[in-house]
């Protein structure tokens, strides 16, 4: 772990760098945008891997970006680090009126937020990944009562949407046999719409089951990669080329890998 310091120490060195280093002094809100995006992904990787040392370092890098923007805004006379901290403290108090206000009962945040929101998507970033956006839209809808009471409703909806996808494929099956290449046939848009409905329903099932769809898919991606790479290793050890071995042979090895993991 790194040496201990205070947030005031971090803020002081940020102000010093802006005063005395040419590169730091040249940065703007716009020029720093790619770095913030990169640091967020690096932090996410460290959290995914459960690496405390890396997480500590990456949190420092994200804090650097926060302080960088706050000091630049301070120099412009727009706001400063104290206002950023005030925004955080004020928001946390508003989100917990049963702790810092006069409310006696805990109210879900989305219910409170819905009272001041003018539209369902207000405030959601345009660049939000589609999977997370679906989750947030559903959370917000649930905040005003548009929600199933338990997982049974979403499970039934997933089954319903899957049936509609199946019906669409059976109706225009030849249109979709494109070997992974996006079809230019206008009928393909109908299948895309049905598949979107199915994905949206699965996201809702994840939400009602208490898991974030992005995290669930992340685990599935890691599992598939791990198993596929194990399958490749076994195939190579047996003198098989995965590109020519065929589905039957590869599927048999895949089942071996799954059985080995479960054992």
Task: Indicate the domain borders of the chain.
Answer: 7-95, 148-211, 216-262
Which one, of 48, 192, 214, 219, lies nearest residue 135 by Cα?
Answer: 214
Reported pTM = 0.73
One CATH from 2.30.40.10, 1.10.10.10, 3.30.300.20, 1.10.287.1080 for 7-95: 1.10.287.1080
Predicted local confidence at residue 179, as pLDDT:
64
Burial 197-228 (b: 16+ CB within 10 A, else e): bbbbbbbbbbbbeeeebeebeeeeeeeeeebe
What pLDDT does residue 106 have?
Answer: 85
Q: Are 95 and 109 in contact (CB under 8 A)?
A: yes
Mean pLDDT by 10 residues, the chain (263 residues): 85 97 96 93 94 96 97 97 96 90 82 82 88 94 93 97 93 65 74 94 97 93 95 95 94 96 89
Q: What is the model's pLDDT at position 227?
A: 96
pLDDT recorded at residue 110: 79
């Amino acid at each position: 772990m790194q040496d201990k310091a205070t947030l005031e120490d971090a803020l002081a060195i940020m102000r010093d760098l802006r005063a005395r280093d040419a590169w730091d002094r040249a940065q703007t809100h716009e020029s720093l945008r790619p770095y913030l995006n990169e640091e967020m992904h690096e932090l996410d990787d460290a959290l995914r891997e459960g690496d405390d040392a890396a997480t500590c370092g990456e949190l420092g890098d994200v804090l650097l970006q926060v302080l960088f923007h706050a000091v630049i805004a301070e120099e412009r006379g727009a706001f400063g680090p104290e206002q950023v901290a005030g925004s955080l403290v004020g928001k946390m108090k508003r989100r917990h009126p049963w702790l810092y206000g006069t409310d006696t009962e805990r109210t879900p945040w989305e219910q409170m937020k819905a009272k001041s929101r003018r539209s369902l998507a207000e405030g959601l970033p345009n660049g939000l990944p589609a999977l997370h956006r679906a989750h947030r839209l559903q959370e917000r809808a649930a905040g005003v009562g548009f929600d199933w009471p338990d997982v049974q409703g979403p499970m039934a909806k997933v089954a319903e949407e899957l049936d509609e996808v199946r019906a669409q494929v059976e109706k225009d099956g030849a249109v979709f046999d494109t070997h992974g290449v996006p079809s230019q046939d206008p009928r393909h848009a109908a299948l895309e719409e049905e598949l979107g409905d199915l994905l949206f329903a699965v996201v809702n099932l994840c939400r009602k089951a208490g898991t974030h769809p992005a995290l669930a898919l992340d685990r599935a991606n890691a599992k598939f990669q791990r198993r596929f790479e194990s399958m490749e290793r076994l195939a190579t050890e047996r003198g098989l080329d995965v590109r020519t071995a065929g589905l039957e042979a590869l599927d048999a090895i895949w089942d071996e890998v799954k059985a080995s993991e479960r054992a």
